[in-house]
Chains A and B, each alone.
Chain A
Amino acid sequence: GAGVSQSPSNKVTEKGKDVELRCDPISGHTALYWYRQSLGQGLEFLIYFQGNSAPDKSGLPSDRFSAERTGGSVSTLTIQRTQQEDSAVYLCASRPAGRGYEQYFGPGTRLTVT
Chain B
Amino acid sequence: GEDVEQSLFLSVREGDSSVINCTYTDSSSTYLYWYKQEPGAGLQLLTYIFSNMDMKQDQRLTVLLNKKDKHLSLRIADTQTGDSAIYFCAERGQTGANNLFFGTGTRLTVIP
Most chain B CB within 10 A, of A40, A42, A91, A106, is at: A42
Q: In this complex, what residue of B is CB-closest to A91?
A: B42
Which A residues lie within 8 Å of B92 (CB)?
A: 101
Which residues 23-80 in B have Cβ within 8 Å of A in the complex?
31, 33, 35, 40-45, 48
Q: Determine how close the nearest CB of chain A comes to the CB of B78; give it in whole angstroms.
A: 26
| Residues in B neighbouring A93, C-beta threshold 8 A | 42-43
Q: Is A91 in contact with B98, judged by CB distance below 8 angstroms? A: no
B68-112: CB near A (< 8 Å → 1, else 0) gives 000000000000000000001010100000111111110000000
Closest residue of chain A to B104, judged by CB?
A: A42
A109 to chain B, nearest CB (A): 11
Number of A interface residues at 8 Å Cβ cutoff, please give it: 24
A-B pair number, CB within 8 angstroms: 54
Q: Number of contact residues on B: which range applies? A: 20 to 34
Residues of B within 8 A of A104 (CB): 45
Q: A101-B31, A101-B92 are in contact. Are A42 and B42 (CB under 8 A)?
A: no
| Interface presence of B8 (CB below 8 A) | yes
A45 touching B43, Cβ below 8 Å = no
A25 at the interface (CB under 8 A from B): no
Is there contact, CB below 8 Å, between A45 and B99? yes
B31 and A107 contacting across the interface, CB-CB below 8 Å: no
Residues of A at under 8 Å CB distance from B? 3-4, 33, 35, 40-43, 45, 48, 50, 56, 59, 91, 93, 100-108
A-B CB contact pairs (8 Å), 20 listed: A35-B102, A40-B8, A41-B104, A42-B88, A42-B104, A42-B105, A43-B43, A43-B100, A43-B102, A48-B99, A56-B98, A91-B42, A91-B43, A102-B45, A102-B48, A103-B45, A105-B42, A105-B43, A107-B42, A108-B42
Chain B residues in the interface with A (C-beta under 8 A): 4, 8, 31, 33, 35, 40-45, 48, 88, 90, 92, 98-105
